[in-house]
Structure 1
Amino acid sequence: MNELQIKQFRQAEYDVDPVILNRWSPRSFSEKEVSEEVLMRIFEAARWSPSAMNMQPWRFIIARTKEDREKFHSFILEGNRRWCEKAPVLAVLISDKEDRVHAFDSGTAWGYLSLQAAKEGLVTHAMGGYEKDKARELLNIPETFDLQVVIAIGYQGEKDALPDDLQSREQPSDRRPLKETVFEGTFK
């Protein structure tokens, strides 16, 4: 979907960088491989995201080989697995629970990653629909880390490659008006 097509779904109330407005979470992925250089640039962007006391509590476990992706598929719930199986890269975002704001900081790292991916011509889609306990066991994740999301990373595929029931959802979503998000002085 190009920038002009996205504009029919998204209109900013104030000017923002187009990469922010044009970034969305498609479900259709091309099976085209992501080069090492491009992939590491998006993780480099995540590395430079801000964190409380520079704790950098986030870690990413990635799957690029067929074998590793199949291992990830085993803990991703069916509703997500049926569209994410074509993604050439999957990543699990985890965070060190010793940091009091680990989830907040890890979310920031995800945001930086997703914006850099958009600048690189990639699409990303974060998923909460997976079996955390199974992922923890299969990926050997210590109890001191919390599992946040699984992220599909790759190049956007064609809408008609999705199952029929997902094709109608394959478009950018809008956002609530800013006046319903920002309050001054007190909540409402």
Structure 2
Amino acid sequence: MTQPRPAPTSHSLLPAIAQRWSPRAYADTAVSDEALLAVLEAGRWASSCFNDQPWVFIVARHGTAEHAAMLATLMPFNQAWAAAAPVLLYSIARENFAHNGEANKHAWHDVGAATANMAIEASARGMQMHGMAGFDGAAARAALAIPAGHAPVTAFTLGFPGPASMLPEKLAEREEAARGRRPAETMLFRGTWNTAL
């Protein structure tokens, strides 16, 4: 397993946040049931509009038919590296509120909040998640038996990071590249748009 890669943050953060990143190389280390359930529990306790909790997570472990079926829904580029991940999962959004059936325009935001909780919990346990938009939505619906009124949002890998050397050269370079974010002044404003904080 690789060592944590703390982000060059401008302010001190919780280690689980500063060390969270999205690897493509995964060690051949199983994720215990306890660790997996704790990561999922972190998602379960995220905040949501009207406390609607519009998320569903479908999980598959490496070496199972479910993992192979889920892997096949990913774009070929993602299949190439995600195949080694000990856990694959999909986040699913229920598109209508449970209490009144009306469209929930915040559902995807709330699913994102749940998966952010999960990523931080994973990081705190020495694991990492990598979210992927590169998947075939129709294939995911079929393979995962996603019912009407629900939409696949993101596919994820989960596991303990492995050495970049297990990846093809170009991906290994990306894996080891310096971490960074846009400057704070381009996204944090006071009172109105483009007013320095």
TM-score (ref. length: structure 2): 0.89
Matched, 1:95 2:93: yes
Q: Give the alignment of 1:79-118 within 5 angstroms.
A: 79-98=77-96, 99-118=104-123
Match of 1:76 in 2: 74
| Aligned partner of residue 10 in structure 2, secondary structure | coil
Quick one: which of 157, 173, 179 aligns to 1:168?
A: 173
Q: Give the alignment of 1:140-179 within 5 angstroms.
A: 140-171=145-176, 173-179=179-185
Which shows bigger deviation, 167-176 or 72-81?
A: 167-176
- CA deviations 1:158-179 (Å, max 9, x no partner) are 1100111200000362111111
Match of 1:135 in 2: 140
Report the Cα offset of residue 66 of structure 1: 2.1
What amino acid is aligned across from residue 149 of structure 2 in structure 1? T
Q: Distance in 1 between matches of 2:54 and 2:129?
A: 21
What amino acid is aligned across from residue 107 of structure 2 in structure 1? H
Report the Cα offset of residue 13 of structure 1: 1.4
Q: What is the total number of aligned residue pairs between the two structures?
A: 184
Which shows bigger deviation, 164-173 or 114-123?
A: 164-173
Match of 2:101 in 1: none
| Aligned partner of residue 11 in structure 1, secondary structure | coil
Which shows bigger deviation, 13-22 or 87-96?
A: 13-22
What amino acid is aligned across from residue 19 of structure 2 in structure 1? N
Give structure 1 regions of 4+ aligned residues with deviation exceeding 3 angstroms. none
Q: Distance in 1 between matches of 2:139 and 2:146?
A: 10
* Alignment gaps of 5+ in structure 2: 97-103
Report the Cα offset of residue 146 of structure 1: 1.5
Match of 2:192 in 1: 186
Which shows bigger deviation, 13-22 or 76-85?
A: 13-22
* Alignment gaps of 5+ in structure 1: none
Report the Cα offset of residue 74 of structure 1: 1.1
Match of 2:131 in 1: 126
TM-score (ref. length: structure 1): 0.93
Report the Cα offset of residue 83 of structure 1: 0.6
Report the Cα offset of residue 100 of structure 1: 2.6
- CA deviations 1:14-40 (Å, max 9, x no partner) are 221121111100100123211101100
Match of 1:21 in 2: 18
Which shows bigger deviation, 29-38 or 113-122?
A: 29-38
- Greater relative contact order: 1 or 2 (C-alpha under 8 angstroms, separation 6 or more)? 1
Q: Distance in 1 between matches of 2:166 and 2:10?
A: 33
